[in-house]
Amino acid sequence: MKWTCVIVEDLQVAADYLAKCCEKSGLLQVKGHFTNVEEALDYLNKNSVDILFLDVEMPGATGFDLLDQLAYYPKVILTTSKSEYAYNAFEYNVTDFLKKPFTYQRFQEALNKLTTPAGENNISSTASDHIFIKCDGKLVRLNNDEILFIESMGDYVKFVTTDKKFITHNTIKNLEEKVNRQTFIKVHRSYIININKIDDIRENDLFIKGNEIPVSKAHKADVLKRLNII
Amino acid sequence: MSGANFSKKFIFNEKIDSDYLYSLYEDDYQYIEEIFQTTLAHFDEDYNSIRTAYESNNLLELKKAIHKIKPTFGFVGLPLVQHICKEFEDQCQRAGSSNDLKTEYQQIVTTLAASKDLIATEYNKLKEFNSNFL
């Protein structure tokens, strides 16, 4: 049985391409294509679908406005040409974020996430001096010594480096098993930090380059053990 | 989109990033023709939205119009033009009025018009190629 989906996209060539990808997958049945939020809402509030392919910027209301007004919540895959929306995407718990134009392979990866728990396939490498993260449709190398800390954002995590932030579909729990444990330590259910980057610790918080990070009671003793306190 | 084994038989204009196109559609020339056709069918409407917004000094609409047309160029193998649109979109965000963008606007409409001509030429070549060889 196929998943049902709807495409909400104002650019015809992008909608056609997406429909073609759906057809090629053999997994999806496209129930409709709408070029604006109002028409899409009208359909979606009368018909339930499994998956919503959703552009963000369209005439009138945005894709996020549609999600705010929807009476139920299908799996959502955002399709946009602006990577800046990745920061909003996590708030709406979207399954994936496809930057237009995307390859069919990237489309398949998005479909895989519909059935794969968050983060299961999103990180490669473990106890080396670097990791690769999937971000914005590509694998990005981050050296351990560039990473200041990793912060949970629901089904996403934010890797904060000295000059950049990267958001990827993953969880702190999953990362805890995969990052180099000599360099990184979990200090809170929402934070893994680079132990070499701590500037100071005060009570139940630590500071890394001006970022205040909570340290939970459960992890505080482990953190202190790892510091070279003289 | 036709399968893993393909040969790059059609010679695209050098301004078109053919590797990028093949990464999207493989050698499905008929589908590439469709993509070019759809792009051309909607081009003038989107292009005119940009002109109307600029001429009426409506920066918000100008930004929206350029945002909408932007990925079109990626779909037809012109990622550089997509990037130029992105830069113009960013400039719209920073500008106070259309006058602030006079030079950039002239450049972008020239680029868009030249891109349309290129897409149209490639579309006609592809159409002929497909009718002769497929």
* A16-74 pLDDT tens trace: 999 999 999 999 999 999 999 999 999 998 888 999 999 998 888 999 999 888 877 78
Rounded to two decimals, the ipTM of the complex is: 0.88
- Report yes or no: B1 at the A interface, CB cutoff 8 Å: yes
- Report yes or no: A13 at the B interface, CB cutoff 8 Å: yes
- Report yes or no: B77 at the A interface, CB cutoff 8 Å: no
Provide the mean pLDDT of chain A.
Answer: 86
For residue B92, is it within any domain? Answer: yes
Q: Do the Cβ atoms of A12 and B68 come within 8 Å? A: no
* Residues of B with Cβ-Cβ distance to A16 under 8 angstroms: 34-35, 38
Contacting residues for A202 by C-beta, under 8 A, at least 6 apart: none
What is the architecture, at CATH level 2, of domain A123-226? Beta Barrel (2.40)
Query: Rounded CA gap, A50 and A65, in Å?
Result: 19
Shortest Cα distance from A27 to chain B (angstroms)?
Answer: 16
Q: Do the Cβ atoms of B35 and A13 come within 8 Å? A: yes
Contacting residues for A136 by C-beta, under 8 A, at least 6 apart: A83, A86, A97, A99
Contacting residues for A208 by C-beta, under 8 A, at least 6 apart: A148, A149, A193, A194, A197, A198, A199
Let me know: does A81 contact B71? Beta carbons within 8 Å. Answer: yes
Q: Closest CB to B72: pick one of A11, A20, A103.
A: A11
- pLDDT tens-digit readout, A135-190: 777 778 899 999 999 999 877 889 999 888 888 888 888 888 778 877 889 999 89
- Looking at chain B, which residue has its C-alpha nearest residue A12? B38
For residue B85, is it within any domain? Answer: yes
Q: Closest CB to B64: pick one of A16, A57, A100.
A: A57
- Report yes or no: A16 at the B interface, CB cutoff 8 Å: yes
Let me know: does B12 contact B120? Beta carbons within 8 Å. Answer: no
User: What's the mean pLDDT in A93-116?
Assistant: 88
- Report yes or no: B121 at the A interface, CB cutoff 8 Å: no
* Residues of B with Cβ-Cβ distance to A82 under 8 angstroms: 67
- Looking at chain B, which residue has its C-alpha nearest residue A59? B64
- Looking at chain A, which residue has its C-alpha nearest residue B33? A13
For residue B125, is it within any domain? Answer: yes
Residue where the block lists tokens 């056709």: B37
- Residue-wise pLDDT tens for chain B (134 aa)? 644 445 558 999 999 999 999 999 998 999 999 999 999 999 999 999 999 999 999 999 999 999 999 999 999 999 999 999 999 999 998 998 888 999 999 999 999 999 999 999 999 999 999 998 76
* Residues of A with Cβ-Cβ distance to B23 under 8 angstroms: 103
| Domain count of the fold of chain B | 1
Let me know: does A5 contact A50? Beta carbons within 8 Å. Answer: yes
For residue B55, is it within any domain? Answer: yes
CB neighbour class for A56 (10 Å; exposed up to 12, middle 13-18, buried from 19): buried
For residue B13, is it within any domain? Answer: no
To test the contact with chain B by mutation, choose from A11, A58, A99 the residue with the greatest count of B C-beta atoms within 10 A, namely: A11
Q: Do the Cβ atoms of B31 and A20 come within 8 Å? A: yes
- Report yes or no: B115 at the A interface, CB cutoff 8 Å: no
Q: Closest CB to A13: pick one of B38, B64, B82.
A: B38
For residue B3, is it within any domain? Answer: no
Q: Do the Cβ atoms of B24 and A20 come within 8 Å? A: no
Give the domain CATH number at B43: 1.20.120
| Domain positions in chain A | 3-115, 123-226
At residue A127, the pLDDT reads 52
Q: Closest CB to B23: pick one of A16, A82, A103.
A: A103
Tell me the residue range of the domain where B26 lies: 18-133
For residue B97, is it within any domain? Answer: yes
State the DSSP code for A93. Answer: T
- Report yes or no: A22 at the B interface, CB cutoff 8 Å: no
Q: Do the Cβ atoms of A20 and B1 come within 8 Å? A: yes
Look at A77 and A87; give whichever has higher pLDDT: A77
Distance in angstroms between the alpha carbons of the first and the last residue of chain A:
64
At residue A187, the pLDDT reads 92
- Report yes or no: A164 at the B interface, CB cutoff 8 Å: no
For residue B4, is it within any domain? Answer: no
For residue A221, pLDDT over 90 is answered with no
Q: Do the Cβ atoms of B24 and A101 come within 8 Å? A: yes
What is the architecture, at CATH level 2, of domain A3-115? 3-Layer(aba) Sandwich (3.40)
